[in-house]
Amino acid sequence: MAERTKGYKELFTEVIETGLCALCGACADGCPYLVYYKGRIVLLDNCTLSKGQCYEYCPRTYIDMDAISQQVFGVPYSEDEIGVTKEVFVARSTDAHIKEKAQYGGVVTTLLSLALTEGFIDSAILTKTSVDKVPTPFLAQNAEEVLQCTGSNYMACPVVARLNQVPRNDSNKLGVAAMPCQVLAITKMKKVPPENRVNISNVKLIVGLFCTWALSPDGFYQFLAKNLDLSQVEKFDVPPPPTNRFDVYTTSGKLSFSLEEIRQYALPTCAYCLDMTSEFADISVGSAEGVAGWNIVITRTDIGAELVKVAKAKKKIETDRLPSENLAHLKEAALLKKKRALNEIIKRTGSTDNLLYVRLSPRVIERLLEYKWIKR
Amino acid sequence: MSAKKLNKDPLNLIITGVGGQGNVIISLIIGNAFVKEGYLVTVGETYGASQRGGPVMSQLRISTESQYSPFIPDGCADIILGMEPVETLRMLGRYGNSSVITMVNSRPIYSIDVTAGQAEYPELQSLLNTIKELSAKTWVINATAEAQKMGSPVFANAILIGALIGSGILPIDKTSVEAVLRETFLREIVTNLAAFNKGFELVK
Amino acid sequence: MASIDIDAPGTSQLFIGNEAIARGALEAGIGFAAAYPGTPSSEILGSLAAVAKKSGIYAEWSVNEKVAVEAAAGASFAGIRALAAMKQNGINVVSDFLANVVMSGTGKAGLVLISCDDPSAISSSNEQDTRPIAKWLDIPLVEPGDFQEAKDMTKWLFDLSEELGTLCMLRSVTRIAHARGNVKLGGLPRKEHKAYFEQLHDLKRVTPTTFMPVPSSIRHSFLHMKMDRAREKFELSPFNRYVGPDKAGLLIVTCGSCWLYSQDAVKALKLDDKVGILKLGTLWPLPEKFVAEYLNKSQNILVVEEIDPFLERSIMEMIANLPPSSPHPTFYGKRSGHLNAYGELNPDMVIKAIANILHISYQSRDIEYGRKAEAATKSYVPGRTLTFCPGCPHRATFWAIKNALKLDGRNGLVTGDIGCYSMALGPAGFFQLRTMHCMGAGSGVANGLGKLGQFGFNQPVLAVIGDSTFYHAGIPALINGIYNQSNFVLIILDNGGTAMTGFQPHPGTGMTAMGEPTKVVSMEALCRSLGARVELCDPFDFKSTTATLLEMMAEGGGAKVVIMRRECELVRSRKEKKPPYKVYVDPDKCIGEACGCDRLCTRVFQCPGLIWDKKAGKAKIDDVICTGCGVCADVCPQGAIIKEKT
């Protein structure tokens, strides 16, 4: 794993100014020098330290995938499309209230609420969409507050920055709903615990989300503001291919944009991301393409499995088998993201010896580059 | 009152410190005391923008013969009263000579250059030793500490005046200075007089 | 400590030059004094205002120097002796009126202008010698050589002004204005001032009783006649004198504070019998006959003056007009490079010049000692950079400005001008200030920048201005920004007084120079009535202030106003003896140089009340310096700075 080898200067020259920044928030709000503001990481003053936690925990400075995989699962990183899994299935909330507000099956909301009420965690860091549709990290302390955070707006949100703000002597158990890049950052923090900020061992549960790309909270937000009245928006959705649409549901009806038009607002860094299913979370949750109103759920760790077990026992979720066709589809999509990312990285650096921020074993590189598509 | 002839004419006295310490009050009191006794006195001050945390100095020229300029020529100070150690050394560097007599308040005031980590404040004892090496005679007065005991660091002014007069290095009477003190310190006159007398004690 | 109105004629008092001038005005029986605060002139009006009521005179802080001189002229027109005082920049502000009033002439009562220059710009933005304006506009000019002359010349100038019917000028410098010296007092007149504007046309006087510069040819030739008359009087003035041998190896021609330096230098070199000093007090028009008489005292002439070679040039001009048989001595001074043509002089510089010309050496102290002393100072003595006082609201304001500009992200800039806040060009204000010129210049410059949108300019512009400066020069710039729709935010730093010069009151404070309550000219009401959006902020509330600045910058549109309102700490601490908070650092919470802080409070925020304990590796509060404002508690990222209400 990366040592605390460099500081904020290199963070800027290697990541933020090169289009690699995912706005995950790992560098922000943990010190007075780096803060997140309206879609940017802002340097308020110069720090004199040549080595900093900002560089150390950034998921785009140094990821040795084997080391991460060993840390979380005890096995090296393989070319498995959706990473290490215990169980893969579909699920949805049994709570009508949640289902009404949820993006798909409401599983993230349900599991985190349950984790709170069952005492797995005392509070959860989520993304809350404000009235004017700005995504903001939020610390939820009960089911009510978790419910306020349902729904996706597809924009990056610096959730880890909120984690950085938890005081070091705060002993509450924490859960986080995180994007794949944020899961990586938090995993880095678990390897070399932060100093003078949040006690990382209090993070007991990470619910990872599926992600293909995230949109810029600066550029995309301005695009939305220009094209519609944000106060009327109720929900965003990207329906499964081949629809090629970005839908906005407002109080006065649905508005659609072509995915091409929207994709220009995706963060450049997403093109270099290998992780579609949050492979290092305790539980990963995403949409079940072709199965409306349900989530695909992947449990990966003991605590993930435990929580799902309790959820099923308490009838908070109903589950079902994931049809093999859908599983193949999921794997295909995940693999495609890996291949694309690797190809983009190699195109940018010009060689398989320099993979920007990521370290992969030669075997994995070879397999990913050669992998044939899985036929149904 | 006709002024007594001075052993050295003009007598050159520097009072130095940091903006806000009350440098000007001391020079005012001493200057007025000498004028009352019939001397020609010129007091040069550097203040204004300097007050904002910068160094300040007063230069007194005391004479029976002529009205001297408000500048003591380099290397010509007879007495240096320093309200702050580093400023005292700064004055010795420019105005000191082998017969200069120095009285220094021991309490450092750190400039932002120092607190920001861009400069070092010298170790106090070695700083005081350097001051002693560059002076014919030196008094170190813990005026700020004594003033804080009396209720506020501002009383350091009166303590230092008392020490200066009490040391006998200025050819002026205690009574003349006391009279001027009463005219000057309209508030807190009792404490200031006590501080003045404390200064006397400290040099005995 | 004598007040300037002490009734003790014949006694000697220790006055600063400014007090001596004020005393001279009282002895001359003035009735009216007006000024705008400006270092080193402020104490003139300040001391007059302190005794005004008792003395039955009127003294005011005018909104700017132009109004001050115009108001004083009004008093002169109505038969009341009047004085206006200012620093060198004030002369610039008044120059248009001066150019007109020298033509119109003054009234039955004298009108005296005091200009206090600041050589080396110790407390100024620029350095400037104001004497040349006397030559430029034809104003009789005197320069006192010591504190006694400061008083005596001021008193005499009123008589001169009345005899000539024109404004007369006295020029002083910091080292006379702020230095103290013996002044023998004269008597104070028991005068009853009676003001009346004569409507009669008085043909006997040189100056008719309408006060206008027209018709210009008549007025201009009258002015020349006045100057000729002034020269005649100057030829006989006791303010010009010679001290020294009959034949000198070197003749020093000097004026002003340089007279004292020259005397000091000659004494230090023990050359009283070899070097003569010709001291001039009446500088313009130059008393040419008088000067010509003394030019043959020596073949070598050293002219010593501050700042420009004004006297030097006048004498050379004069010599060019003398008959060819007259002596042509060798001149030394600024032109020859023996003295700097910039900055203030001092006895050491004059000593060096004399030693150079006469080829003598001079050692003030033992060489060994000198070497030791200089080495010790170099290695030991840290710098003392100027900063805002502890508790100053400007530090908090610029902290919020710095953060807001960084968050905004468009590379915004701050334009400004003169006052305590000028220090924002340095670490005190986090290096935020990008332009600084004369009073109100920041707002003017912002106007230009705010109209460059059509050329692709999109950087936010913040113009900072002090409260007193706003009334002085900022209002026209704001009106321009509203009328011409220039995109900038005017930030008025309202600390309740004219702080840098000594907390004098201004139109926003509700108090006059003479200590009387008066109408408050509300700056927010004024700005709103002009049609600008106005927001009031407390600079100590970082969150709210930063958010307001961000919003104002994002909004765009024409000029708008943010008023940062919080009292100057030096004023507050005089009024309320108790500090608002007891502030201390909890060493258990302080993480010092570690990642997550890196000494933010001492290294970046740099309030002098915060010091660094190197041994412990923690920040500490210096309880001698700290004023208990508590702002640093909000700066500390670890909540290690605790503030407790006292």
Asked if residues C32 and C111 have their Cβ atoms less than 8 Å apart, the reply is no
The whole-number pLDDT of residue A103 equals: 84
Closest partner residue to C595 among A37, A45, A195, by Cβ? A195
Find residue A59's DSSP bridge partners: none
Nearest Cα residue in chain C from A168: C638
Neighbours of C530 (CB within 10 A): 16
Nearest Cα residue in chain C from B184: C1
Does the structure show a pLDDT above 50 at A2?
A: no
ipTM of the complex: 0.92
Residue-wise pLDDT tens digits, B17-46? 988 788 888 999 999 999 999 999 999 987
pTM: 0.90
Does the structure show a pLDDT above 80 at B51?
A: no
% residues pLDDT > 70 (chain B): 96
Closest partner residue to C594 among A33, A43, A196, by Cβ? A196
Find residue C183's DSSP bridge partners: C13
Residue-wise pLDDT tens digits, B52-65? 677 889 999 999 99
Domain count within chain A: 2
Residues of B in contact with C602 (CB under 8 A): 115-117
| Mean pLDDT, all residues of chain A | 92
Asked if residues C459 and C412 have their Cβ atoms less than 8 Å apart, the reply is yes
| Mean pLDDT, all residues of chain C | 94
Closest CA to C167 of C107, C80, C235: C107
Q: Taking the domains of chain C in order of start, what are their residue ranges?
A: 12-235, 241-358, 393-575, 581-645
The length of chain A in residues reads: 376
Residue-wise pLDDT tens digits, A228-269? 888 888 889 888 878 899 999 999 899 999 999 999 999 999
What's the Rg (C-alpha) of chain B? 16
Rounded distance between C-alpha atoms, residue B7 and residue B90, angstroms: 26
What does CATH list as the number for C581-645?
3.30.70.20
The whole-number pLDDT of residue A80 equals: 86
Does the structure show a pLDDT above 60 at B1?
A: no
Question: Do A327 and A183 share a structural domain?
Answer: yes
Assess A195–C contact: CB distance below 8 Å, yes or no.
Answer: yes
Does the structure show a pLDDT above 80 at C209?
A: no
Six-digit token string for A269: 């860094």
The whole-number pLDDT of residue C397 equals: 97
Q: Mean of the pLDDT values across residues B88-112?
A: 94
* Residues A288, A294, A296: CA angle, nearest 5 degrees: 45
Does the structure show a pLDDT above 80 at C594?
A: yes
Q: Mean of the pLDDT values across residues C2-7?
A: 90
Rounded distance between C-alpha atoms, residue C535 and residue C395, angstroms: 19
The whole-number pLDDT of residue A374 equals: 44
The whole-number pLDDT of residue C84 equals: 98
Residues of A in contact with C598 (CB under 8 A): 31, 33, 47-49
Residue-wise pLDDT tens digits, C397-445? 999 999 999 999 999 999 999 988 988 999 999 999 999 999 999 999 9
The whole-number pLDDT of residue C97 equals: 97
Whether the link from the prior residue into A242 is cis, omega within 30° of 0, is yes
Closest partner residue to A196 among C403, C591, C604, by Cβ? C591
Do the domains C393-575 and C581-645 sit in the same CATH topology, yes or no? no
Residues 6+ apart with CB under 8 A from C250: C271, C274, C275, C276, C298, C300, C301, C302, C354, C357, C358
DSSP track, A67-83: HHHHHHHSS-----TT-
Q: Mean of the pLDDT values across residues B177-196?
A: 89
Interface of C with A (CB under 8 A): 402-403, 406-407, 409, 430, 591, 593-598, 600, 603-604, 635, 637-638
Does the structure show a pLDDT above 60 at C174?
A: yes
* Angle between helix B85-95 and C367-380 (nearest 10): 150
Q: Taking the domains of chain B in order of start, what are their residue ranges?
A: 11-202
The whole-number pLDDT of residue B114 equals: 87
Residue-wise pLDDT tens digits, C63-97? 999 999 999 999 999 999 999 999 999 999 999 99
Q: Decide the pairing of beta strands A40-43 and A63-64.
A: unpaired
Asked if residues C486 and C447 have their Cβ atoms less than 8 Å apart, the reply is yes
Residues of A in contact with C409 (CB under 8 A): 37, 40, 42
Question: Do A272 and A251 share a structural domain?
Answer: no
In this complex, do B115 and C427 lie within 8 Å of one another by their Cβ atoms? Answer: no
A59 min Cα distance to partner chain C (Å): 19
Asked if residues C213 and C224 have their Cβ atoms less than 8 Å apart, the reply is no
- Burial of A38 per CB tally in 10 Å (0-12, 13-18, 19+): middle
Residue-wise pLDDT tens digits, C136-168? 999 999 999 999 999 999 999 999 999 999 999
Does the structure show a pLDDT above 80 at C206?
A: no
What does CATH list as the number for C241-358?
3.40.50.920
Asked if residues C451 and C479 have their Cβ atoms less than 8 Å apart, the reply is no
Rounded distance between C-alpha atoms, residue A304 and residue A175, angstroms: 12
Rounded distance between C-alpha atoms, residue C422 and residue C436, angstroms: 7
The whole-number pLDDT of residue B47 equals: 64
Does domain C12-235 correspond to CATH entry 1.10.10.10?
no
Does the structure show a pLDDT above 70 at C202?
A: no
Domain C393-575: CATH class, spelled out: alpha beta
Q: Mean of the pLDDT values across residues C341-348?
A: 96
Q: Which amino acid is at C374?
A: E
Assess A42–C contact: CB distance below 8 Å, yes or no.
Answer: yes
Q: Which domain, by its residues, includes A69? A: 2-216+266-375
C298 min Cα distance to partner chain B (Å): 25
The whole-number pLDDT of residue A1 equals: 40
What's the Rg (C-alpha) of chain C? 28
Does the structure show a pLDDT above 80 at C474?
A: yes
Residues 6+ apart with CB under 8 A from B3: B34, B37, B38, B39, B64
Question: Do A104 and A128 share a structural domain?
Answer: yes
Question: Do A238 and A89 share a structural domain?
Answer: no
Q: If pLDDT is split at 50, 70 and 90, which confidence band does C384 have?
A: confident
Does the structure show a pLDDT above 80 at C203?
A: no
What does CATH list as the number for B11-202?
3.40.920.10
DSSP track, C447-487: HHHTTGGGGT----EEEEEEHHHIIIIIHHHHHHHHHTT--
The whole-number pLDDT of residue C158 equals: 98
Residue C206 vs residue A33, higher pLDDT: A33
C382 min Cα distance to partner chain B (Å): 6
% residues pLDDT > 70 (chain C): 98
Cα first-last separation, chain B: 29
Residue-wise pLDDT tens digits, A79-134? 789 999 999 999 999 999 898 888 889 999 999 999 999 999 999 999 998 877 88
Residue-wise pLDDT tens digits, C499-525? 888 889 999 999 999 999 999 999 999
